[in-house]
Structure formats: C-alpha cells, structure tokens
Chain A
Amino acid sequence: MGRFKKSGGSRSQAISTASLPDIIFMLLFFFMVTTVMRETTLFVKISMPLATEIQKLERKSLVSFVYIGTPVQTQMYGTEPKIQLNDAFASVNDIPSFIEAERLSRPEGDRPMMITSMKVDRNTKMGIVTDVKQELRKVNALKINYSTLKGSDIAAK
C-alpha cells in the first residue's frame, strides 16, 4: 500500500490565484472606461433605420436627444408616435424650452457646436419629424443628426 501511494502521490503545486483579481480588475476598468451610463429610460419603442453614409458623434457631451416612436405601454398611451424628451413625453411645443435648457447646461463656448440627435423609429411618419425639425429651426438648433445603424436595406427591397 505504501509503495502504491508513493508512486501516485507526487504533490502537485497549487496554481496561485492571487493575480486573478488583477486580471478581472483590468477587464472591469476596460468596461468602466469604454461604456456610457444609460441616462434616460426610453418610454418609446425605437428600431432605428439603416444607413451607410454615417458619421460618428465625436463628443457625446454636446449631443441632446429627441426620441420619437410608439409608446411602449400601448394600453396607457396608445399607438400614435410620441416625442420623448429627457424622461417624459412631450409635445412639439416643448422643444424650444428643451433646447434652451440643454443650451444653458453647457459651457458657453460649446453652445454653437451642439448637435440634436433624433432617434426616430423607422415606421414613424415624416409629419411629426418635420414638425420637430421646424421647431428646431425656429430656435436655431440647426445641426441635427438622424440616428441610424450601420447597414444597407436597399438590397432587401
């Protein structure tokens, strides 16, 4: 018996796991740096259209968002497309005050470079989008971005 034990029982060295936390911390920091906190809860359902000629929005701090889509809770709010600004539904008339508030929250030097990004559901009719654009024109928020995903759907048609 003793001899048997001796041949099989070569003591294997335990691998040190002390550096495992460091590796995980590295991953953690990577994710902390590359990701952005979700700021608003979307009350509208948005599936963005596809486009190929897109540009990235470089400075996220200069972007204010306008969401347009059908409400998630259709029993409560119906199926008509609605505008969401910040954390609440809004009407077209609320856009000037929204833009004004967004402007005031940015440093003065950045204000001319502000971009309004429109995240609009692909099945929305253009009527509401045009109304929003007209309001943006009135308050001189002329730089806009039609938010899209990368891809082409021409071949599918």
Chain B
Amino acid sequence: MARMSPEINAGSMADIAFLLLIFFLVTTTMDIDSGILRVLPPPIDPNAPPPPPVKERNVLVVLVDQFDRLMVKGQIEDVKNLRSRTKEFITNPSNDSKMPEKRMEYIEHMGDIEVSRAVISLQNDKNTSYEMYITVQNELAAAINDLRDELSRQKFGVPFSELKSEEFNKAVRQAVPMAISEAEPKDVGGKK
C-alpha cells in the first residue's frame, strides 16, 4: 500500500530558487533608458530654395565655445541665468521692439492666444564638452517646459505633465512650440 510513501523534503527547493534568483539579479540591468528627446532637422536639399530669413529680433543666439563658456545674444552669461533669460525672451513681457514678435492665433480648446515667434538658435564648437551641451539643452527645454506648465495651469488648472487629454496636450504644445534650432556645424572658436 502506498499509505506510507515518504514525504520529499522541500527544504532545499528554496536554495535552488535562490540560486536562480541570484543568477538573474547578476545578469540583468534595471536601467530604464531615459534622456532628452530631440528631432533632428531633415537633410538639406541642395535644390530647395533657401528658407525665408528669420527676423533678428526673433532669434535668441545661444553659443557655447570650446572652453564651455556660454554666450547669449553676444553677452557672456552664466548657465544659472539661462533658463530665466530664455523664458523672458520667449514671453517678451514688456513688448520690447527688440524682443520677439507675438501673433494672435486661434488654438482649439484655448481660443485666441498670443504665440511667440521666438526661435532659439543653439550653436556649439567642436571642442565643447558634451556635458555642457546637455546642460544647455536641458536648461532650454526646462524654460519651455516651465512656460508650458504656466499656460497649462492657467487654462486647464493642472501642470503640463499631468494633462491627461492628448488634445489639450497638443494645444499647449502648439501655443508654446519647442523652437530650438541647431546650427549647421561650424567652428565657433576658430581653428584648433
């Protein structure tokens, strides 16, 4: 009779599972890749007519030289001030004639709204460090995200990142465009 069949000791099962667990812990990485997403401009068609020039008052030239120094509109600037400078430039609160134009546009869900025509032109040297470049990119993105946040709070009552509706999201992005243009590569700091 199989009544007295011996029980298998399951105590070592845990050890086997532990071995597997430790194997997976060692061989896998937890990193979820994250970073600053950007879209590069399409390649230039040599036959295409040159794009219409952008008015000088609409362009914020941000230049980083080979010693990682930052220059905004021809003045040396600290990275810490870049965000506030960019925000001020885009919004042009005092309607300065040297600052970017604004145009009334009708955007769904928001009605008529002033859209700044500002374009940020980011230029860097061959010897600029990647770290500095990312810091500058990050500050510019932060400035635009701040403005989007403000608008989103004003119109929809929640920050931009918490906008659930894709349409609202699109409306805010349309009202505050991410207009960062990167110059064709050139040596800003002279020959090296």
Name A's interface SS.
mixed
Given contacts A36-B28, A154-B80, contact A53 B141 (CB under 8 A): yes
Of A50, A54, A63, most B-chain CB atoms within 10 Å = A54
> In the complex, what's the smallest C-beta–C-beta distance from A45 to chain B, in angstroms?
13
The 10 closest A-B pairs by CB, nearest first: A35-B28, A127-B126, A24-B17, A122-B131, A21-B13, A53-B141, A51-B138, A147-B35, A20-B14, A49-B134
Answer yes or no: B34 CB below 8 A from chain A CBs: yes
Q: How far is the CA of A106 from the CA of B63 in the complex (A)?
A: 38
Complex interface: chain A residues within 8 A of B21 (CB): 24, 27-28, 31
> In the complex, what's the smallest C-beta–C-beta distance from A116 to chain B, in angstroms?
9
Give 27 CB contacts A-B under 8 Å.
A24-B14, A24-B18, A32-B24, A35-B24, A36-B29, A38-B29, A49-B131, A53-B36, A54-B35, A55-B34, A57-B34, A122-B129, A123-B130, A123-B131, A125-B127, A126-B126, A127-B126, A137-B40, A138-B43, A140-B42, A142-B42, A143-B39, A143-B40, A146-B38, A148-B34, A148-B138, A157-B80
Please state if B126 and A125 are interface contacts (CB–CB under 8 Å). yes
The interface size of chain B toward A, counting residues with CB under 8 Å, comes to: 47
